[in-house]
Amino acid sequence: MTDWRPGAGPGALRARAALLASIRAFFAGRGVLEVETPLLCSRGITDPAIEPLLVSGGISVGAGPRYLQTSPEYAMKRLLAASSGPIYQICKAFRDGEAGSRHNPEFTLLEWYRPGMDHHQLMVEVAALVCACLGERPWQALSYRDLFQRSIGVDPFADSLETLQQMVRQIVDVGALSGDRDLWLDLLLTHAVEPWLTAQGLCFVYDYPSSQAALARLGERDGCQVGERFELYVDGIELANGYHELGAPAEQRARFEVDNRRRQARGQPQRPLDEALLAALAAGLPECSGVALGVDRLLLLATGESDIRRLLAFPWDRS
Domain count, the chain: 1
Mean pLDDT along residues 79-106? 93
Q: What is the pLDDT of residue 64?
A: 74
Report if residue 124 sits inside a domain. yes
Report if residue 41 sits inside a domain. yes
- SS3 for the chain is CCCCCCCCCHHHHHHHHHHHHHHHHHHHHCCCEECCCCCEECCCCCCCCCCCEEECCCHHHCCCCEEECCCCHHHHHHHHHCCCCCEEEEEEEECCCCCCCCCCCEEEEEEEEEECCCHHHHHHHHHHHHHHHHCCCCEEEEEHHHHHHHHHCCCCCCCCHHHHHHHHHHHCCCCCCCCCHHHHHHHHHHHHHHHHHCCCCEEEEEEEEHHHCCCECEEEECCEEEEEEEEEEECCEEEEEEEEECCCHHHHHHHHHHHHHHHHHCCCCCCCCCHHHHHHHHHHCCCEEEEEEEHHHHHHHHHCCCCHHHCCCCCHHHC
Report if residue 166 sits inside a domain. no
Mean pLDDT along residues 91-95? 96
Report if residue 152 sits inside a domain. no
Q: What is the pLDDT of residue 176?
A: 83
Confidence of residue 124 (pLDDT cuts 50, 70, 90): very high
Report if residue 182 sits inside a domain. no
CATH number of the CATH domain containing 248: 3.30.930.10
Of 134, 136, 101, whose CA–CA distance to 303 is shortest?
A: 134
Domain range spanning residue 234?
10-138+201-318
The answer to whether the beta carbons of residues 69 and 274 sit under 8 Å apart is no
Confidence of residue 57 (pLDDT cuts 50, 70, 90): low
Q: What is the pLDDT of residue 63?
A: 61
Counting residues of the chain whose pLDDT is more than 70, the rounded percentage is 98
Cross-strand bridge partners of residue 227:
208, 218
For 216-250, the pLDDT digits (tens) are 999 999 899 999 999 999 999 999 999 999 999 99
For 58-90, the pLDDT digits (tens) are 656 666 778 999 999 999 999 999 999 999 999
Measured distance CA(308)–CA(8) in Å, rounded: 9
Rounded to the nearest integer, the mean pLDDT of the chain is: 94
Confidence of residue 43 (pLDDT cuts 50, 70, 90): confident
Q: How many Å separate Cα 213 from the centre of its chain? A: 12
Q: What is the pLDDT of residue 60?
A: 61
Report if residue 75 sits inside a domain. yes
Confidence of residue 15 (pLDDT cuts 50, 70, 90): very high
**pTM value?**
0.94
Report if residue 154 sits inside a domain. no
Report if residue 163 sits inside a domain. no
**Res. 199: pLDDT tops 80:** yes
